[in-house]
Amino acid sequence: MKAYINKIETFGLSDGPGIRTVIFFQGCKLRCKFCHNPESWNTSLKGNYTVDEVFNKIMRCKPYFGDNGGVTFSGGEPLLHKDFLIELCKKLKKENVHIALDTAGIANGNYKELLDLVDLVLLDVKAIDKYSFKDITNTDNFNKYLEFIKELNESNKDIWIRQVIIPGINDNKEYIKNLKKFINKNIKNVKKIEFLPFHTMAFSKYNDLGINNPYKDIEAMDKEKCLELEKYYNEI
């Protein structure tokens, strides 16, 4: 069995607790306007790594994980490689490697076996209603997203919420209040909320790939304002 891995990052510090090896899987069904990795969208590329090859790369980094590090599967959308991940996670669990899954929750359903194997889910929140979800992701997958959340709740796994904050789009207290209502109503076991400031570092990728960048006129999110909104979220 093979999967296409877009890149592998060692010593990652921002995709879960501790020092982590981050595996970026290729392929995504969403076309988010704020996507920082448009090069990972293509789903037609043939696999370039076997399960054992990825496992061996992770294990070479294990001595650096310490007490709270591990591996994070990201993308693209790692759920598109569910069977590959299940086989890989089974091997990693035997080695007591902490496993985090960074996902938007959009794939083909029936995630129980995979979720049973992971320790932490980093759940991306693209939007909090079907209309804005369609506008931001260019898909009608909001119901699939809610279905994933239902399975995630049933798995009883720890969850970190990740929300990109975009100037002029959702950088206001009204959205933050509605976000908190959505999370409190729909998502259990939330251990942490991360507000990620929108940045422009990926703009060159859109140019290189010849892809229209719908947010090309939006400036990077002010990090201090982003922290203020995160503080506001935690206070309300």
Distance CA 116, CA 104 (A): 18
Largest Cα separation within the chain, whole Å, is: 48
- pLDDT tens for each residue of 196-231: 999 999 999 999 999 999 999 999 999 999 999 999
Instruction: Give 22-61 pLDDT, tens digit per residue.
Output: 999 999 999 999 999 999 999 999 889 999 999 999 999 9
| DSSP strands (E only) in 85-189 | 99-103, 120-125, 158-165
**Mean pLDDT within 61-83:** 96
**Under 8 Å between Cβ of 23 and 51:** no
Q: What is the pLDDT of residue 28?
A: 96
- % residues pLDDT > 70 (the chain): 100
CA distances from residue 43 to 85, 104, 175, 218 in whole angstroms, order as listed: 16, 16, 32, 28
Q: pLDDT tens for residues 145-180?
A: 999 999 999 999 999 999 999 999 999 999 999 999
Considering the segment(s) 2-235 as one domain, its CATH architecture is Alpha-Beta Barrel (3.20)
Distance separating alpha carbons of residues 137 and 127, to the nearest angstrom:
9
Per-domain boundaries in the chain: 2-235
Q: What is the DSSP string of 89-108?
A: HHHHHHTT--EEEEE---SS
